[in-house]
A and B are shown apart, each in its own frame.
Chain A
Amino acid sequence: MRLSQVLNRQHIGFMFKKHWVVQGKRVPIDSGVEDILKAKGIKVEDALEFVKEEPIQQERINIVGPYEPSPPLDENHPEYKTRPCFTLKSTNVLLEGISQAQVLTKTVIAENKLPPKIEELAEVPAPAAVHENIKKAILSANVFDCEQEKLPKIKDKDRPAYNFPRILGITDKRRNQILTNRLLQLVEKTSDSEVTQSKYVVNDVESHTVFDKEDELIQFQDVSHILVTSNKPVVHDLDKDVTFKDIPDLYPVKHTVTLPPEHFYSETSKYPIRPSVSVRHPHTTWLHYNNTEVKNIYETPVRQDQILGRSLTHAFTVASAYAKQIHGEDVKDLPEPIYINCIQTDGQKYHFGVLELNTLNVDGSEGTKNVWYSKNDLKLYDSSRYFGGMPVLENYNNKVYGYINALYNC
């Protein structure tokens, strides 16, 4: 703006700007009194020197917040250790998926095979009323639940900068929570009361296990979204003539790849249920695969074999934490194998597994090994959503319930 321009229009921006300038440059008016007094020989002193009070030195107040602030993550932290621990959390996946999980846990796999008793029980047909209730559960998890949260951003490969409207709906976490809990409730309702009374069900409990593998410290921290425990350890009779998939050689990849090293960890394992509880023996552990939470650390999408690897490491975490609670932290070969059933699901696909934990000595690939029986990729339904304003459930598969029931009742 030219300086010569006359501001003959009132403008809110100019007004405030000018006002600020004028007020900011206020100059005290010199009344000439000082000169007169000086001429008369009277000493002039600043009145404020006498009026002003001494500034009060206040002590710093230590404000107690609504909660205890966590100590800073530095070398003085109580859990700081100089030796790094390679950590696998339930939100991370292994780069090589199931093969890496095999190496880490020293496990051989019986593919597409579950213990014979489970296969037998899975064949038993369930009454029609149960299937009706499962369909209701699927619909209420995918369609009728009223959660309206922001779902992940929709991206188009061909035009990645395009912003689609954000859709509100049921998050994968809640969908899985509703569906798995309903399924388990149904299984319990249709089981005998002796069976249900000997079991206990807890949600969202954490198991930690720490172990050495070839001079490196590794820890698994996992959450069982549902943990079914029983009053006696679960035991499976197993076929002898099973062909196992042996532990692969990962070369050139090292087995600790994509396990970020951490310096803040506890050196003891943790099984969530205390030894004083009679129904503490792990029976079945349910693991949710939430697409929005589980990520590769290198941003690539999660592959199918990585999801399967999650099942194995999860079952191993719970079983070994339990084994360490019974036999102590330094146990290597177990006197008796520990069995645990594992179900992983993203709501649609179900991966069933049974882990036979024989040893916690995971060095090398020789000697006693753990065994993982698994049956993967069973689809409960093809799609369930609002389609054109109508609730839809397509292709319900009634086989899946048989396996869930069998795992609970075995």
Chain B
Amino acid sequence: MYLNRVHRTFPKLKKIITRPQSQAALAEQNEYTETPEYPPILDMSLKARKLREREALYQKIKEINTVEEKQLALNMPRYYGWKCVMLNETQIPYNAMPLVQYYTRSHFIPVDKLPDYYNETDEAANVVVQEIKALVEEAIVIENEGIDRDFPVTNESPIETQKENALAKSIVKQINRIITNNLTDKLDHILSSQVDIDPRHEAFWFVGGVDPPLEVQYWRKQYKWLRNTINDPIDRPVQYIGTPMLTLRGKLPLKPIIPYSEAENPEFKVPQFTHRPKTAGYFEKHRHGTNIPGYWPGDFDEFGLISYHGRGHIRKEARQQSFGEQDNLEALHCQALKASFGWLLAQANYQGFTTYNDLIYPLVTQTVITNGQLWSLYAYQLNTIEMHNDKFDSNPKNNVCFGTKPLKLYDTIENGKVQGLNEDVLKMLVKFYLNTPEERDHAMKPYLGKEEQVVADIEDDNRRSWLESRYKHLVSNRPKHLLLPEVYLWEKIYKIKFNTRFFEAKRRPFEKDINPFNRRLDDHLPPYIPKVLRQYPKSRKKFETTYYPKV
């Protein structure tokens, strides 16, 4: 027979071609039930179907075992990276507070002294302050006047800004040294805590409820089934990037400042900022979303205690004077909100939560912004990280931030002596260190695997190595080998606006109606295996295996 002959040349074809004969179906015995069981009635409208698709994605990300794979999964839909709204720690445009509050979902409470939560360490702090007062004064004088040095500067920002930050950093290092040396004998968590200098803090999340850009509106107008959704809000990927001067982190998380149930308190209000971020002065950039709290997954000390930030960008050389005092104050609050939220979100991501799978317990951090003389102190409680387009109006939880104005640690330095040291400020700072982390009585990583929590736990050698290098490559955001697709200006004039070259073959993506940016991360040819390197005796596997998460 004809088929038989083919089978001899292609033996595998036999397996592919199914037998044409039909098989008898097995009679189901208990096909009938007492009450009829109907499948669930699903809303088959476009919106509902799309929502179900998205929810399936959220569920898949939740079920992934390791931290790194979850991060890869967040980036899976975009080969060229997300078009992220860039929230830089030190670039704060005029009147940025509403946007920052909405994007970090933070309620800000201005305070003059730290919340009651810190009262229990009041006496201990008093004792410590008396012990270290003289040392701190001495350190401030030495750093300001006693050392003959030139801080290295670059041309990237005003020199005064860089010098102020460098001086602030050296003062912060000294004060941190004095306080930690004093407290190591008294508190266990200080000895084992790790101090990072200039760590890399990055955080990535989605914010929903933002007005769609014009391109999206034009695109929606093309299709009649989308006409009634033209103004529907869309998700905005947001990327925070910051570098604190110094951070302290430990093995255990800090206690919540307010009970977790208070997170849904309707008194904590966050302004709605639905305008496009460009209107507030925040711009977009194509990049892969990264969540990095200053260490790679697998480090033992994964909860932040304190982070110190510089405020050189508030100086008149770096920030327009016409913005005024009030806006400068708000800029500091914005910096604190962004920095605290960004760091905590990255930490939450290492606990297995993502922007699609909300936190189930609060996380706390303490942020200090200083130039050595002026100190603003913030305590931040992260209650929710889920604010994407499907949840932005239904999620009742808000984050809370308590913050002070910039307080003067001392008035002046005269004749090698600090004049008017403000002990209250020093006390508040010491209270931050005295705030002891505690073990929680619930599981910290419910969405991570039991055996595999980070990629290093994976047993399969190939998979582990591949995932580790792919993850590092992704978060490095190094430029691609090939340039990004683009429509050249001459094409825009001679091909798109005016159809002058109608006789040419249509080969460019825009002529074939293809969006080249609509490409998944795994949509590429894996590395080729040269014939000599293929497995003995005979292997037809031409390309190496990839281990992208299946989402």
Binding site for B on A (CB under 8 A): 10, 12, 66-67, 129, 133, 136-137, 139-140, 143-148, 168, 177-178, 181-182, 185, 188-190, 193, 196-197, 200-206, 270-274, 276-280, 386, 388-391
Contacts and interface: CB of A to CB of B under 8 A. Distances in A.
Given A136-B301, A202-B147, A391-B456, A189 B191 contact: yes
B476 interface: yes
Contacts of A190: 184
Contact of A133 (B174, B191, B200): B191
Given A140-B194, A189-B181, A206-B150, 17 more contacts: A66-B158, A129-B192, A145-B196, A146-B292, A146-B294, A148-B475, A168-B478, A181-B195, A188-B181, A193-B182, A193-B185, A200-B142, A206-B149, A272-B147, A273-B147, A274-B146, A280-B146
B464 A197 contact: no
A185 B153 CA distance: 27
B299 interface: yes
Contact of B192 (A133, A200, A204): A133
B147 A386 contact: no
Contacts of B456: 389-391
Given A144-B296, A145-B295, A182-B194, A272 B478 contact: no
Interface in B291-350: 292, 294-296, 298-301
Report which residue of B150, B177, B200, B500 has the largest number of chain A beta carbons within 10 angstroms of its beta carbon.
Answer: B177
B155 A203 contact: no
A140 B468 contact: no
B34 interface: no
A279 B142 contact: yes
Contact of A193 (B181, B190, B292): B181
Contacts of A196: 181
A392 to B, nearest CB: 10
A205 B190 CA distance: 28
B177 A188 contact: yes
B465 interface: yes
A366 B299 CA distance: 56
A136 B148 contact: no
A129 B193 CA distance: 12
A146 B180 contact: no
Contacts of B159: 66-67
B501 interface: yes
B147 A144 contact: no
In order of increasing CB-CB distance, the 10 nearest A-B pairs are A389-B468, A389-B464, A277-B146, A146-B200, A189-B184, A148-B476, A144-B299, A144-B295, A389-B465, A196-B181
Given A168-B472, A201-B177, A189 B145 contact: no
B147 A129 contact: no
Contacts of A274: 145-148
A232 to B, nearest CB: 15
B184 A273 contact: no
Contacts of B478: 168
Nearest to A188: B181
Contacts of A146: 199-200, 292, 294-296
Nearest to A202: B147
A200 B147 CA distance: 12
Contacts of A390: 456, 464
A278 B469 CA distance: 51
B490 interface: yes
A149 to B, nearest CB: 9
8 contacts: A145-B196, A145-B199, A148-B476, A188-B177, A193-B182, A201-B174, A277-B146, A390-B456
Contacts of B146: 273-274, 276-277, 280
Which size class do B's interface residues fall under?
A: 35 or more
B197 interface: yes
Report which residue of A139, A185, A274 has the largest number of chain B beta carbons within 10 angstroms of its beta carbon.
Answer: A185
B420 interface: no
B458 interface: yes
A203 B169 CA distance: 11
Given A206-B149, A277-B142, A185 B292 contact: no
A136 B298 contact: no
B195 A205 contact: no
A280 B194 CA distance: 28
Contacts of A139: 299
B464 A178 contact: no
Given A10-B501, A136-B301, A140-B295, A202 B200 contact: no
A306 B131 CA distance: 46
Nearest to A204: B149
B215 interface: no
B155 A185 contact: no
Interface string B466-485: 01110010011010000000
Interface string B406-433: 0000000000100000000000000000
Interface in B135-159: 135, 138-139, 142, 145-150, 153, 155, 158-159
A388 B192 contact: no
B513 interface: no
B170 interface: yes
Contacts of B150: 206
A67 B159 CA distance: 8
B482 to A, nearest CB: 15
Nearest to B466: A389
A386 B471 CA distance: 13
A174 to B, nearest CB: 8
B62 interface: no
B461 interface: yes
B412 to A, nearest CB: 17
B306 to A, nearest CB: 15
A279 B191 CA distance: 25
Contacts of B174: 201
B269 interface: no
A133 B191 CA distance: 9
Interface string B116-140: 0000000000000000000100110
B445 interface: no
Contacts of A277: 142, 146-147
B298 to A, nearest CB: 6
